[in-house]
């Protein structure tokens, strides 16, 4: 199926001005674009070099790997690669997965996943990997292009679709298998999605008239998404993830993560986590005491969570417009 008019021929760079608004007021946001036939879910695509920060991991680098079996992934633009790290053992890249890109997820709501991750692997595919990088299986979605993914506590996989002819859909694979069931959303462009512990699925993106940010929910057991009104204005859609207490939405333009409680169709702001020094955290992943930023400015940072502030480490490796991140145990 053809994607929306946002995507043109391969190799083209098409910018669409988008007005962001939610809960009062509006502001012109940087363009959402398609590059080489793939959408970019980042707010900023032409960014200045990131400021450098001193690392705090030098005293950990000599520790044996068995004590730090974790792997963090900074996932670059569609069709490129994912850079693999082993923080806190070091801040340097230790591996790579080729021919992937966009966003990733794993089999927990937050924290480090259990031995597997998922990464968008093609115009209509998503692939499961055993940590650190062995492919296990690939699932196909009925549309182009998959943008986001999330897993619930039962192991179901939700894959967001950037935009079909009718708008942004979400395809849910029961037990992460089979052909999947597509659910239309009120979004014209779906950017990010995430589950809460009750099995409710949330997604964000831009509305049908491309006039602003929107957060939507598929309540557990329902077949229809509903719009969720946020008590504050979110400028540009970012990650949607549970943090153990709150539903958290990252605002790419504000360099902030908003913590919400959700009741009915209203999300009430409870706290804000600032991501100082980042250029554009497209996808963030919340671990135990940390949050990882896939920074579209060309890097990856790790912050304390929920303290935020300046990054505790800037990862060192190869990057190509990072759009996503996730983490899992080896």
pLDDT at position 52:
35
The pTM (predicted TM-score) of the whole model is: 0.84
Question: CATH homologous superfamily for 13-329?
Answer: TolB, C-terminal domain (2.120.10.30)
Closest CA to 196 of 272, 327, 273, 286: 286
In contact, 249 and 204? CB cutoff 8 Å = yes
CA angle, 282 then 287 then 292, to 5°: 30
Per-residue pLDDT of 199-232, as tens digits, reads: 999 999 998 666 689 999 999 999 999 999 999 9
Side-chain half-sphere exposure of 255, counting CA atoms within 13 A: 17
Which backbone phi and psi does 176 adopt, to 5 degrees? 55, 40
pLDDT at position 166:
66
**What is d(CA 292, CA 299) in angstroms, rounded to the nearest whole number?**
11
Give the confidence band of 56 by pLDDT, cuts at 50, 70, 90.
Answer: very low
Write down how long the chain is.
Answer: 330
CB atoms within 10 A of CB 308: 18
Closest CA to 238 of 256, 226, 259: 256
Closest CA to 273 of 284, 262, 288: 284
Query: 314 is written with which tokens?
Result: 């800037």
pLDDT at position 144:
80
In contact, 7 and 39? CB cutoff 8 Å = yes
Per-residue pLDDT of 129-176, as tens digits, reads: 999 999 999 999 988 889 999 999 999 999 999 877 667 899 999 999
Segment 71-84 mean pLDDT: 96
pLDDT at position 279:
94
């Amino acid at each position: 199926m053809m994607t929306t008019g946002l995507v043109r021929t391969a190799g083209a760079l098409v910018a669409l001005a988008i007005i962001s608004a939610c809960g009062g007021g509006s502001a012109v946001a940087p363009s959402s674009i398609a590059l080489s036939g793939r959408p970019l879910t980042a707010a900023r695509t032409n960014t200045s070099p990131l400021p450098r920060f001193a690392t705090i991991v030098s005293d950990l680098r000599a520790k044996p790997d068995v004590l730090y079996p974790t792997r963090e992934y900074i996932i670059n633009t569609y069709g490129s690669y994912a850079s693999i790290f082993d923080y806190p053992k070091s801040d340097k890249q230790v591996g790579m997965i080729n021919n992937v890109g966009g966003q990733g997820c794993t089999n927990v709501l937050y924290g480090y996943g259990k031995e597997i991750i998922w990464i968008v692997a093609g115009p209509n595919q998503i692939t499961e990997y055993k940590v650190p990088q062995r492919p296990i299986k690939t699932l196909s979605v009925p549309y182009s292009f998959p943008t986001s993914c999330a897993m619930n506590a039962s192991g179901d996989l939700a894959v967001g679709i950037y935009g079909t002819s009718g708008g942004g859909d979400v395809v849910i694979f029961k037990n992460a298998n089979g052909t999947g069931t597509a659910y239309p959303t009120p979004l014209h462009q779906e950017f990010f999605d995430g589950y809460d512990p009750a099995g409710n699925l949330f997604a964000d993106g831009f509305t049908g008239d491309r006039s602003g940010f929107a957060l939507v929910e598929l309540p557990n057991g329902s077949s229809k998404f509903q719009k969720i009104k946020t008590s504050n204005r979110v400028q540009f859609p970012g990650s949607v993830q549970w943090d153990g207490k709150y539903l958290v939405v990252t605002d790419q333009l504000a360099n902030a993560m908003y913590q919400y409680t959700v009741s009915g169709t209203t999300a009430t702001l409870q706290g804000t986590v600032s991501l100082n020094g980042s250029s554009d955290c497209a996808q963030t992943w919340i671990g135990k005491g940390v949050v990882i930023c896939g920074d579209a400015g060309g890097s990856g940072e790790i912050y304390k969570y929920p303290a935020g502030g300046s990054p505790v480490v800037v990862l060192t490796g190869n990057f190509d417009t990072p759009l996503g991140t996730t983490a899992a145990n080896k």
